[in-house]
Structure 1
Amino acid sequence: MEMKLVRSRTDRKLAGVLGGLAQSLGINATILRVLFVILLFLTGFFPLTIVYLVLVFILPNKEY
Structure 2
Amino acid sequence: MSNDWEKKQLRRSAEHRMLTGVCGGIGQYIGIDANIVRLAFAVFTLLGGSGIVLYIIAWLIMPEEGSDTSVLEHIIRNFQGKQSNL
Aligned with residue 17 of structure 1, among 19, 22, 27: 22
RMSD: 1.6
Higher helix share: 2
Pick closer, same or farther for the CA change 1:36–1:12 going to 2, 3 Å. Answer: same
TM-score by length of structure 1 reads 0.82
TM-score by length of structure 2 reads 0.64
Moved more, 10-19 or 50-59: 50-59
Whole-angstrom distance in 1 between the partners of 2:37 and 2:54: 15
Whole-angstrom distance in 1 between the partners of 2:51 and 2:37: 13
Q: Is the aligned partner of 1:38 residue 2:43?
A: yes
Question: What is the aligned length?
Answer: 62
**Uncovered stretches (5+) of structure 1, i.e. residues with no partner:** none
Structure 1 residue runs of 4 or more that deviate by more than 4 Å after TM superposition: none
Whole-angstrom distance in 2 between the partners of 1:51 and 1:36: 8
**Uncovered stretches (5+) of structure 2, i.e. residues with no partner:** 67-86
- SS of 1:27's partner is coil
Whole-angstrom distance in 1 between the partners of 2:36 and 2:51: 17
Q: Which one has the largest radius of gyration?
A: 2
